[in-house]
Structure 1
Amino acid sequence: MNNLSKKNLGLISLMLFSLFFGAGNLIFPPFLAQSAGSATWVAMAGFFITAVGFPVLGVIAVAKSGGLKALANRVNPIFASIFTVLIYLSIGPCLGIPRAGSLPFEMAVAPFLPEGMISVTLARLIYTLIFFSLAYWICLTPSKLVDRMGKFLTPTLLTLISCVFLASVLKPLGGYGVASGEYVISPLVKGFLDGYLTMDTIAALNFGIVISLAIKSKGVKEEKYVVSNSIKAGLIAGGLLIIIYSMLAHLGATSGGKFGATENGAQTLTNVMTYIFGQPGVILLAAIFTVACLTTCVGLITSCSEYFRTLNSKVSYKAWVRILSVSSMVLANMGLTKILSVSVPVLNAIYPIAIMLIVLAMTNNLFGGSSVVYSFTILFTSVVSIVDALNQAGISISFMVNAFSKLPLYSQGLGWIVPAILGACIGISYKFIKEHFTKKLVTEGF
């Protein structure tokens, strides 16, 4: 079989959507729109680039390249080993999975615990124990992921969010608020950077293997057809993401106009849900958060377990699922604040590298897949992004920060773009010069 049936393509597309759509994806669009106000759709255009465009391209790039390790190997084998492990650790047990387990509790459960009845620490432990036990059970049989997520979890999530949006149309909150902060000056760039927080471009480099396995489990074996079906699933999932993000952005923008600023997107959604549904809206919000986080968590545990099994064949896939589920549950009990304090610098270091790796993979044929182009581009990108991330974490290399601060767009968090382009130009020039002189030497008989 070369192509998936429409039913299976739909299920895999829904599965990919649910892998991407966690609680972070739920809270960032309304929070962005609340702050952007009248500039919401300009900001969302930037958000769509990094929160939808690059994640979809990431899935396609990994499928076309035969896996993340193979793609990273085009830069350098040492880089491939370090970068791949770093990606899986950051998006997996060290950051992404604990965040997915902690976020729904902190945002939708903790604020509404009866005072004095149970401590927040104990409640979090009970919640994460149940949450990760369910995730563990779903991950044990990856061949059933498509059915469990595509048929049940994702439709449930989409139905819940759509009901909220339709209810907001029937009981409107009002008009959009006024833009504030950086959204006044450069809403497009701010939206672009906000897309980093979803972590989906990094996650896409992991989920590529999950989608490939899912497609193969449906009978498509030949690699080129696995790639073509991955592209179709990615485009459908991307379209769904844009629709849901737009719904959430509208809710956030109207909430900002009615209630004013809040500290985070969860509070924004809580205001909306309470206004539309009253107190029962809080329960509905908790359900939406939990389902959104569970689907992402399952995808991350599955992809990381598949990868770590390749590093050590003595430890089985199921053993890795067990290890990651337990360790992530432990880290989730550190609390969301500590997890998020680490996430921003890490994301700012990794995200630009991931973006350029995807761009290079998608334009690979234009420069003949030269490793020199990959190497120079990633080197120039990583130096700026890592120094910037260290500076944000309080580890300042002053002379480098001072030098990089003169780069275009540096103050807006995009200082890596010009060096990335420069690195690509140097790599292409080097390749051209080398080929020219090699051809000349051959022609002259040397």
Structure 2
Amino acid sequence: MTQRLSRADTIGLGLMTFAFFLGAGNIIFPPLEGQLAGTNVLSAMSGFLLTAVGLPLISIIAVASVGGGLPSMTKDLPKGTGTFAAVLLFIIIGPAFATPRTGLVAYEMAIKPLFGTFGGDNQLVLSDSIKLDKTQAIVTTLFFIVTLMFSWSRGKLIDNIGKILTPALFLLLICLAIGVLVAPQGELAAPVASYQDTAFSKGFIGGYNTMDTFAALMFGMLLVDVLRGKGVTEQKATYKYLVIAGFIAAAGLAFVYISLFWLGATSSTVAPGAANGGVVLAAYVQALFGQPGQWILSGVVLLACLTTAVGLVSACADYFSTLTPLRYRQWVIVLCIICALVANVGLSQLIALSVPVLLALYPLTIALVVLTFLRRWLPNPKYAFRTVMFVALIFSLLDGMRGISALQNVAWVKGLLDSQTKYMPLAEQGMAWMIPTAIVMVLVFLIPASKKQADIK
């Protein structure tokens, strides 16, 4: 069996990976970051690119290097930890937050501006406490039906996404980027107070919102299955094509983020005091292209959200089918139904709920990826992994607690967080985990090898 892809399939794999990453968060968060950073846009953008481009790329390479995704990456942790972490990760990036968000953003930014709502009473009352937006419910349901259709066959993902949807998406993004660079709609404004001295860390944390480092661990396993379907089964060949796909995706994401950051940084005139990046982007495109611009924006958003939804649903269904009696296609149906239901929580509520979860889990993912690269040089990988991950967990949980507003009213929690802010560097920026984890990651090289490991050597 050949272990090579054609050039078209290789490019298609890279474009598919790029399309999987480029979704709701990738479009709505950079413009607002750019506007808030103003003249400090380069600093904020650098931090954002590090977590939204660099970390996903490194994560894909880490998955490729071990060949087995999360199960192989967590083999040195206590038994069952890897499966628990994977299930938790797939739930968060799948039906709980990221995938429903794609349907919501598609509705809010692609459909609603063009067609509005039904008018009049647009509420569907299910009970005194459950009231749904009729238009939103219909649109998100249709969105996930289309997602189901594209996700139905894993073997056709490269053809469906890499060769059909992504080229159309990329052409629309190029049109937008050229417009932003050639005819910016304003001058760079002064940064808001929180971005004056900490623009880099703000951008770094802002990159969490894309959830792309989580997604990379998921997509890495999905891409391995896609390559197997194309006849590439050997570890060396799989690693090669995953790395190529990762670099193609990273280049595409960097292009998009730089364009959107610059758009946001020059948007203070056309979208002053915008509440979110969607408002910034919509106002800018309207000013730049007029009414036809809304059609361009709707096309970009709809395709970006659809391709990401397909990738997330496919990856979740593929993984859950290995743990349960349900088959891949059955899981696709179940996940699309759940996502359509969760999407009706509302975009702002979903984003607010996800923030503390990201602050708590992103540091753990970063630590795991770094440890995966360092493993071959660690004298005692088992104790090194467990020690570093424990330290990262303790401090990341504190960062996550800081993101839950209700906990700020609990006296002992407030006292604990105030002490952390006083004594821990970077705590106010939500990065208190970084220095302790880095220190411990260096110290674990001093842990001696176990007798069994020494005998093997």
TM-score tier after normalising by the smaller chain length: over 0.9
Structure 1 segments of 4+ aligned residues over 4 angstroms from their partners: 434-439
Partner of 1:98: 100
Match of 2:127 in 1: none
Deviation at residue 186 of structure 1 after TM alignment: 1.5
Q: Aligned equivalents of 1:167 and 1:49: distance in 2? A: 25
Partner of 1:174: 186
* Structure 2: distance between partners of 1:129 and 1:205: 27
List per-residue Cα deviations over 1:280-301 (Å, max 9, x = no partner): 3223222211111111111110
Give the C-alpha shift of residue 169 in structure 1.
Answer: 4.2
Q: 2:181·2:259 contact (CA, 8 Å) conserved in 1?
A: no
Q: Distance in 1 between matches of 2:453 and 2:231?
A: 49
> Counterparts of 1:205-244 in structure 2 under 5 Å?
205-244=217-256
Following TM superposition, by how much is the alpha carbon of 1:170 offset from its aligned partner in structure 2, in angstroms? 4.6
**Aligned partner of residue 233 in structure 2, secondary structure:** coil
Q: What is the CA RMSD across the aligned residues, in angstroms? A: 2.2
Shift of residue 384, structure 1, vs aligned partner = 0.9
Residue equivalent to 2:56:
55
Aligned to 1:42: 43
Equivalent position to 2:441, from 397, 419, 424: 424
TM-score, normalising length: structure 1: 0.93
Structure 2 distance, partners of 1:278, 1:40, is 26
Map residues 93-172 of structure 1 onto 2, 5 A cutoff: 93-110=95-112, 113=116, 116=119, 119=122, 121-172=133-184
Cα displacement string for residues 130-175 of structure 1 (whole angstroms, at most 9, x for unaligned residues)? 1001000111101101011111111111111111222334543132
Deviation at 1:398, TM superposition (A): 4.6
Kindly state the Cα deviation for residue 205 of structure 1 after the two structures are TM-superposed.
0.9
Q: 2:344 corresponds to which residue? A: 333
Q: Distance in 2 between matches of 1:189 and 1:150?
A: 34
Task: Indicate yes or no: 2:431 matched with 1:414.
Answer: yes
Give the counterpart of 1:87 among 86, 89, 113. Answer: 89
- Whole-angstrom CA distance in 1 between matches of 2:8 and 2:109: 35
Aligned to 2:12: 11
The letter of the residue matching 1:61 is A
The corresponding residue for 1:262 is 274
Residues 171, 321 of structure 1: alpha-carbon distance in 2 compared, 3 angstrom cutoff = same
Residue of structure 2 equivalent to 1:404 = 420
| 2:202 is equivalent to residue 190 of structure 1 | yes
Identify if the C-alpha distance between structure 1 residues 297 and 182 changes in structure 2 by more than 3 Å, giving closer, same or farther: same
Residues 377, 424 of structure 1: 8 Å contact kept: yes
- Pair 172,422 (structure 1): closer, same or farther in 2 beyond 3 Å: closer
Q: Which residue of 2 aligns with 1:24?
A: 25
Deviations 1:168-205 (A, max 9, x none): 34543132222213221121111111100100011111
1:21 is aligned with what amino acid?
A: L
Q: Measure the CA separation in 2 of the matches of 1:282 and 1:50.
A: 29
Paired AA for residue 30 in structure 1: P
**Contact in 2 for aligned 1:91/1:199 (Cα 8 Å):** yes
Structure 2 equivalent of residue 275 of structure 1: 287
| Stretch moving more, 344-353 or 35-44 | 35-44
How high is the TM-score relative to the length of structure 2?
Answer: 0.91
Per the TM alignment, residue 326 of structure 1 is displaced from its structure 2 partner at its CA by 0.5
Aligned length: 438
Structure 1 Cα separation of the partners of residues 331 and 175 of structure 2: 37
Task: Report the AA paired with residue 27 of structure 2.
Answer: L
CA offset at residue 380 of structure 1? 0.2
Question: Which segment drifts farther, 414-423 or 278-287?
Answer: 278-287
Provide the secondary structure at the position in 2 that maps to 1:93: helix
Contact 1:99 1:339 (C-alpha < 8 Å) held by counterparts: yes
Measured against aligned partners, the alpha-carbon deviations of 1:25-76 in whole angstroms (never above 9, x if no partner) come to 0121111111111111111111111000111111111222211122122222
